[in-house]
A and B are shown apart, each in its own frame.
Chain A
Amino acid sequence: MSLDFGPAVALSCRECGTRYDLGPSFACLECFGPLEVAYSFGSVTREDIAAGPANIWRYRSLLPVPTDVTSKQNMNPGWTKLVKADNLGKVLGLRDLHVKDDSGNPTHSFKDRVVAIAVEAARNFGFHTLSCSSTGNLAGAVTAAAARAGLDACVFIPADLEQAKIAMARVFGGKLIGIDGTYDEVNRFCSELIGDPLGDKWGFVNVNLRPYYAEGSKTLAYEIAEQLGWELPDQIIIPVASGSQLTKIDKGFKELISLGLVEDKPYKIFAAQAAGCSPVSTAFKAGHDVVQPVKPNTIAKSLAIGNPADGPYVLDIARRTGGAVEDVTDTEVVSAIKLLASTEGIFAETAGGVTVGVLKKLVESGLLDPSLTTVVLNTGDGLKTLDAIADDAAPTAVIRPSLDAFRAAV
């Protein structure tokens, strides 16, 4: 089998640095540490990138994908809008605020980015089935990408997910298995399935393809910098479930600096969790460098990972960059969803309510500098978590079709 992973040259253990050949493996044989893709980048210029397509493949020379990736059957996600959020900024007292709105991806969440990379890895390794454990958004991203790529799909979710996420995962075909348990239990199940003959030739995007998959989140960093005119933001607020996205956005910023694509400057990374599932925030505030798992209880189901694998790295990065990890209650999440919607016309899912809620809290507590360029992520679409605003899901008034009735109602 001849592999084409573009600029990627090896897998490397993030903990102990042991290197391995590119393959469908995810944990270090020496220390169980997570494996990451290592690269040998050639010269990459802003002009080369700008000449690329309006999707993540404009950064293909920075990603573990085949050189001819643009000719493959792929969802081609990314290049979502960076909205200059002056109205929200004014309400919160921020001078230069932007919302990176990833609800604009093909299946309406940032997960299309990571899955697009995993699909190419699955093809490279000759896998026939695409799979994952999912809190919801990932399941839909995987079944859609598998349909486009002509692969089978079988995905696993906690059985109590939002109806919209279940429908979204089902409509593209493939098997959708609800597991009677939490996400962490689904994840554990998949880890065991992968060592069993039942899971032979399966690409679990967030397990055995995880080193490749996770790299997709770097494209958020690249896009934000390019959309800011090839400048890094001073402050960024990122939601934390497993912590993988935040870790990779930091990696993306560092790569842009080392490749000379942006000027080197300090940036602060802030991590956002829901209070009902805030193991990383709790560890940050307690000064710990390991994360004690919790049992999640929050409406922000896409962030409900009680045992976040990359939690320790989130702590390291928040501390290294001078950021913080903060959490907000479900009530604050709902208020923040409404605030973002009513100021910027962006309908975020609960995870976006978490980041905007944390943004507000950080401004109020003085941890964010309101004079600096700030980016807040919305990673998903409010239509998938309608339950969160169910109390408001009714007309302002119901009237007869007459002007008099309208006059009386308003």
Chain B
Amino acid sequence: MSVSVRIPTILRTYTGGNAEVSGEGDTLREVLQKLDADYPGIGARILDESGKIRRFVNVYVGEEDVRFVGGLDSATPAGAQISIIPAVAGG
């Protein structure tokens, strides 16, 4: 499905400075594969060597943190907004 992906500042070197790019796929895994095909190298920044989401990256489909809803297998319905955000501490 056609989705939009919000890119954090530190990954915008891959997207020519674009903060938002369009993506494609029925699951988050497919969307990230397509993203890496469009912007080579970006996938390895989001996923570690074993293919899991890096522990200091949060990925959201719509409002949901994908760690709650199926991880890389999370469904990405048409028009979904996907956000990739570095983890930050707070309080």
Contact = CB atoms under 8 A, between A and B. Distances in A.
B54 to A, nearest CB: 5
Interface string B37-58: 0000000010000000011111
B19 A195 contact: yes
B88 A33 contact: no
A137 interface: yes
Nearest to B86: A27
22 contacts: A15-B56, A25-B10, A26-B86, A29-B10, A31-B45, A31-B56, A134-B90, A135-B90, A135-B91, A138-B90, A185-B63, A187-B90, A188-B58, A192-B83, A194-B9, A195-B9, A207-B88, A242-B90, A244-B90, A292-B67, A309-B87, A309-B89
A188 B60 contact: yes
A407 to B, nearest CB: 50
B89 A310 contact: yes
A contact face: mostly helix, strand, loop, or mixed: loop
Counting from the closest, the 6 A-B pairs by CB-CB distance are A242-B89, A27-B86, A244-B89, A309-B87, A309-B89, A195-B9
Nearest to B46: A32
A134 B91 contact: yes
Contact of A192 (B54, B67, B85, B89): B85
Contacts of A196: 19
A116 to B, nearest CB: 15
B66 to A, nearest CB: 10
Nearest to B19: A195
Interface string A129-173: 000111101100000000000000000000000000000000000
Nearest to A312: B55
Contacts of A30: 45
A108 interface: no
| Size bracket of the A interface | 35 or more
B88 A32 contact: no
Given A34-B89, A307-B67, 8 more contacts: A137-B91, A184-B65, A191-B8, A244-B89, A244-B91, A305-B90, A305-B91, A309-B56
Contact of B56 (A34, A138, A191): A34
Contact of B90 (A32, A206, A292): A206
A18 to B, nearest CB: 12
A268 interface: no
A294 to B, nearest CB: 9
Contacts of B63: 185
Contacts of A290: 55
Contact of A307 (B9, B45, B58): B58
A98 interface: no
Contacts, number: 97
B83 A188 contact: yes
A241 B45 CA distance: 27
B67 A293 contact: yes
Interface string B74-91: 000000000101111111
A192 B90 contact: no
Given A31-B54, A290-B55, A133 B90 contact: yes
B19 to A, nearest CB: 6
A195 B88 CA distance: 14
A216 to B, nearest CB: 11
A77 to B, nearest CB: 15
A27 B19 CA distance: 17
B6 interface: yes
Contacts of B19: 195-196
Contact of A206 (B10, B85, B88): B88
A295 B83 CA distance: 19
Nearest to A14: B56
B27 to A, nearest CB: 20
A67 B21 CA distance: 45
Contacts of A135: 90-91
A214 interface: yes
A302 B60 CA distance: 24
Interface string A305-327: 10111101000000000000000
Contact of B89 (A33, A188, A214, A292): A214
A203 interface: no
B87 A307 contact: yes
Contacts of A34: 56, 87, 89
Contacts of B67: 292-293, 307
Given A135-B91, A137-B91, A192 B86 contact: no
Contact of B87 (A32, A133, A195): A32
Nearest to A31: B54
